[in-house]
């Protein structure tokens, strides 16, 4: 998409549809002011996607969020510390299967 003139990554997020996940990329062309939304469907079990860090440096924190919050493995990324310091990193909290109400803080 970058070759098509979409030179700015506005956002990456994900949506959990229970049966599958969808990664959503919102791209912007700074010359024409056009916006493009790209969606990638992933399986709910062991979802993984390639990193776009080589194309868009802004993808760094968004991809970390995909990994930590949705449990999506982003291939081509080196491991970094968790964004949420007091979370054990086991169950992705943005998935609909997340068990709310437990104490997930490290004691």
Render each residue's pLDDT in the chain as its tens digit; 107 residues. Answer: 666 789 999 999 999 999 999 999 999 999 999 999 999 999 999 999 999 999 999 999 899 999 888 999 999 877 676 676 666 666 788 888 877 665 555 44
The class that CATH gives domain 2-75 is alpha beta
**pLDDT reported for residue 93:** 81
Between CA 63 and CA 49 the distance in angstroms is 10
Which residues lie closer than 8 Å to 90 by C-beta, 6 or more apart? none
Q: Domains of the chain: which residue ranges?
A: 2-75
Based on its alpha-carbon atoms, the radius of gyration of the chain, rounded to whole angstroms, reads 15
Return d(Cα 39, Cα 16) in angstroms, integer.
Answer: 13
Phi, psi at 104, each rounded to 5°: -100, 10
| Residue among 69, 95, 96 nearest 82 (CA) | 69
């Amino acid at each position: 998409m970058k070759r098509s003139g979409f030179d700015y990554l506005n956002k990456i997020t994900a949506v959990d549809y229970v049966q599958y996940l969808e990664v959503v990329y919102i791209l912007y062309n700074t010359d024409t002011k056009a916006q493009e939304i790209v969606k990638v469907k992933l399986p709910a079990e062991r979802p993984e996607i390639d990193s776009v860090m080589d194309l868009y440096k802004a993808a760094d924190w968004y991809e970390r969020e995909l990994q930590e919050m949705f449990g999506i493995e982003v291939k081509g990324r080196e491991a970094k510390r968790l964004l949420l310091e007091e979370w054990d990193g086991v169950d992705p909290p943005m998935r609909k299967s997340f068990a709310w109400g437990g104490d997930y803080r490290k004691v």
